[in-house]
Amino acid sequence: MKYLKDIKAKDECVLVRNDFNVPLNQKREILDDTRIRASLPTIEYLIETGARIVLCSHLGRPQGEFKPEFSLKPVAHRLSELLDRPVQFEAEITGEKVDAAKASLKPGEILLLENLRFHPGETGNDPDFARDLARGIDVYVNNAFGTSHRDHASITGITRLVPVAVAGLLLKKEVDYLSLAVEKPSENYVLILGGAKVSDKIPVINNLLDRATTILIGGGMAYTFLKAQGVKVGMSKVEDAYLPMCREIMEKAKKSGCKLMLPVDHVAAVKIEANVTIRMVEKGKEIPEDMMGLDIGYETVERYMAEIRRAALIVWNGPMGVFEVDDFSGGTMAIAKAIADVSATSIVGGGDSVAALIKAGVSANISHISTGGGASLEFLSGKILPGIEALS
């Protein structure tokens, strides 16, 4: 993968593909600017280098047409505040006006284009759209890790149409950290997986079984594994179609010496609701027929924390329970704090796990928080992301 810091950018017209897909409210105010802030080091580097900077991104899913609620204009304002310098906003993506604006940029000046997904050619990877986007561009920088699993015009198509295509600082950081998780087997590597569906995480488990020392499983996905072992799980979330696959994974783990751990106790209830009566289901007891397991119990937390304390590398994706409801958030909060407390290298991905870190107030103590949910899961599954492949 070619890298921005290895090429000449001074005086060049540099197009940076960012992930400015930030949540907005009805008044089009930015609710969380984490993704914008994560892009700043690359933009600041380009300013210092004296590049002529064109920024682009998608926001939401406007389905190939102009929809004012998905305009990137609020992002231009926020960028300008954060960088403390003007950011020119262009209400078009391609065309004569945009070409003229690109051509008139001076070193260090910044132009932000309108939402790429206002044009159907973006998600359709239309070569004509990619060509228009590439016009006047000397260097293309992919800094949008969260979109790099997409075969879109601004991610892959454009790389074939510009003189130089490289990774930005954020993309490189993501790849460097996530590579720790997928490359050679590591000692004391603890992989923690949770979330609703086992089907989403099976490719990750299959890919990392030979590399991780220990896999800790929580969340809804644990119940398909438990049922596959013959444990009675009541009304808990189970994907029956994956029972054979879970049995196979447990067999493989045994053979490869990977310690795959499942919850031994649970917080259960008849429905997912605040203030509903909860039942602590102790080790060796069954989840009642009319109840669901909605969080890992105290003993499971203790066992998982003991593994986390021994870890040198921790990778976490997916909550341990329905953490959005306080009664079922204890397991996820305890795991988040435990990861933050140890000196191991820690890599956390997935919107819910990141939200849990923020809720627990410990995100500053994590080595790397991935900006890409779907992209990080695909990376951990061993897939080569199209956007990364296109830079090789």
Q: Catalytic site residues?
A: 35, 197, 351, 374
In the list 167, 322, 380, 388, the residue contacting ligand AMP (rule: CB under 6 A) is 322
Window contacting ligand AMP (CB under 6 A); options: 88-96, 194-202, 227-235, 297-305: 194-202
Please report, as residue ranges, which positions from 325 to 364 form the binding site for ligand AMP (by CB under 6 A): 350, 352
In the list 196, 243, 278, 305, the residue contacting ligand AMP (rule: CB under 6 A) is 196
Give the 3-state secondary structure of residue 343.
coil
Are 265 and 304 a contacting pair, CB within 8 Å?
no
Q: Does 239 bind ligand AMP (CB under 6 A)?
A: no
Which residue, 152 or 237, has its beta carbon nearer to ligand AMP? 237
Cβ atoms < 10 Å from Cβ of 238: 22
Give the 3-state secondary structure of residue 164.
strand
In the list 121, 219, 349, 387, the residue contacting ligand AMP (rule: CB under 6 A) is 219
Window contacting ligand AMP (CB under 6 A); options: 94-102, 161-169, 170-178, 192-200: 192-200
Min separation Cβ 196 and ligand AMP, Å: 3
User: Is the sign of the CA dihedral 175, 213, 262, 254 positive or negative?
Assistant: positive
Which residue, 99 or 299, has its beta carbon nearer to ligand AMP? 299
Tell me the CA distances in angstroms from 201 to 21, 123, 197, 220, 315, one per residue in order. Answer: 24, 25, 7, 11, 13
Q: Does 372 bind ligand AMP (CB under 6 A)?
A: no
Task: Annotate 235-268 with three-state secondary structure.
Answer: CCCCCHHHHHHHHHHHHHHHHHCCEEECCCCEEE
Min separation Cβ 293 and ligand AMP, Å: 5
Q: Does 197 bind ligand AMP (CB under 6 A)?
A: yes
- AA identity, residue 203: P
Q: Does 77 bind ligand AMP (CB under 6 A)?
A: no
Q: Does 297 bind ligand AMP (CB under 6 A)?
A: no
Q: Does 200 bind ligand AMP (CB under 6 A)?
A: yes
Which residue, 197 or 383, has its beta carbon nearer to ligand AMP? 197
CA separation for the pair 323, 319 (Å, rounded): 7
User: How is residue 152 written in tokens?
Assistant: 């879109």
Q: Does 192 bind ligand AMP (CB under 6 A)?
A: no
Which residue, 1 or 235, has its beta carbon nearer to ligand AMP? 235
DSSP string across 65-121: S--GGG-SHHHHHHHHHHHTS--EEES-SSSHHHHHHHHTPPTT-EEEEPPGGGSHH
Please report, as residue ranges, which positions from 13 to 72 form the binding site for ligand AMP (by CB under 6 A): none
Are 187 and 213 a contacting pair, CB within 8 Å?
yes
Q: Footprint of ligand AMP on this chain (CB under 6 A)?
A: 195-197, 200, 219-220, 237, 293-294, 318-319, 321-322, 324, 350, 352
